[in-house]
Amino acid sequence: MSNLLSVENLTMKFGGLTAIDDLSFDAKNNQITSIIGPNGAGKTTVFNCLTGFYKPTNGQMFLHKEDSKISLRKYTDFKIAYVAKVARTFQNIRLFPAMSVLENLLVAQHNELMVASGYSLFGLLNLKSYRDKEQLAVDKAKYWLDIIGLTHRADDNAGDLPYGDQRKLEIVRAMCIEPRLLCLDEPAAGLNPKESAELNKLLKFIKTEKQTGILLIEHDMSVVMGISDHVVVLNYGKKIFAGTAEQTKNSKEVIEAYLGVDE
């Protein structure tokens, strides 16, 4: 299995606070890599560095393509999603609540549609080439909505969906940019056991059918242990363990980090 992402000596300091301390790990293609750790361990900070919201103090992050690699440090802001094709979701859901479900998925395909609409010129002239492209985008949205079972609510406002559906919608919206790496920040937070199981199914589908690497931050151990191929454990910004889910469960360091040391 080839490497998709390699993080090398990543360090992020906020003033005197070192949120991430010399972190190195790899994530492979077609695998789900989970980052776990107690609250404040620096998990979300890793995500914010990867997706260009923070500029790391030190270290490198590479995304590997077939025969080349690109440094994620070079891309900030919207270019991470646009050029490097790294998509993310957020801990507190960030949909466009007053826009319809379908519109949410079309905004994710903004850049292709923008070119297709000739930067609005062809669109204003209502050319067939643009209308065809728009239909393709709608078809792609429908494909994903069929998978999460929300096609019947395509024309409703995203903000009106139940919480669990909003989570799933945010994930498929990120998938609409056809990412190479999908970063999910606590996707199972606030889901009931049934919804968690559906989420597991969706993530496995993305991993196997879409050939997308997934990086996952999660507190819900049933999700982590159920679907992770690889687990990285952080504590106080440092990597304390990396291995398979089974190995992690039995690791002394991990148990100590979560439950404390016996006096």
Partner 1 sequence: MGKQDIIKSLKDSLFTGLIALALFGPIVGLRTVSKGEGLFITPQWGVVFLLVGLCILGRFLININSARRTEFKIFSTLSSKFSSITEDKAKHFAITGILFAVVFPFLPFTDRYFMDVAIMILTYIMLGWGLNIVVGLAGLLDLGYVAFYAVGAYSYALIATTFGWSFWICLPLAGVFAAFFGILLGFPVLRLRGDYLAIVTLGFGEIIRIILINWYEVTNGPDGITGIPRPSFFGLPFKRSPDEGETSFHLFFNLEYSTMHRIIFLYYLILVLALITNYFTLKIRKLPVGRAWEALREDEIACKSLGVNPTNTKLTAFAIGAMFGGFAGSFFATRQAFISPESFTFIESAIIVAIVVLGGMGSQTGVVLASIFLIGITEMFRDLEQFRMIAFGGAMVLIMVFKPKGILANRKPTILMHGDKK
DSSP 236-262: TTEEEEEE-HHHHHT-HHHHHHHH---
Over the window 184 to 223, marking each residue x when it contacts partner 1 by CB under 8 A and - when it does not, the resulting string is ----------------------------------------
* Interaction between residue 97 and partner 1 (CB under 8 A): yes
Backbone angles phi, psi at 220, to 5 degrees: -75, 105
* Interaction between residue 181 and partner 1 (CB under 8 A): no
* Interaction between residue 150 and partner 1 (CB under 8 A): no
To partner 1, the closest distance from the beta carbon of 107 in angstroms equals 4
Candidate residues 174, 182, 191, 203; the one interacting with partner 1 per rule CB under 8 A: 174
* Interaction between residue 38 and partner 1 (CB under 8 A): no
To partner 1, the closest distance from the beta carbon of 255 in angstroms equals 34
Amino acid at 114: M
Give residues with Cβ within 8 angstroms of 223, minimum separation 6: 187, 188, 196, 199, 200, 216
Which of 173, 230 has the CB closer to partner 1? Answer: 173
Q: Could you give the CA distance from residue 137 to residue 155 in angstroms, rounded to a whole number?
A: 15
What's the token pair of residue 19? 């949120």
Within residues 51-80, the interface with partner 1 by CB under 8 A covers 51, 53, 77-80
Candidate residues 70, 154, 189, 245; the one interacting with partner 1 per rule CB under 8 A: 154
Which of 84, 233 has the CB closer to partner 1? Answer: 84
To partner 1, the closest distance from the beta carbon of 123 in angstroms equals 4
* Interaction between residue 232 and partner 1 (CB under 8 A): no
* Interaction between residue 36 and partner 1 (CB under 8 A): no
Give contact residues for partner 1 (rule: CB under 8 A). 51, 53, 77-82, 87-90, 94-100, 102-103, 106-108, 110-111, 113-114, 116-117, 119-120, 123-124, 134, 138, 141-142, 151-152, 154-155, 173-174, 177
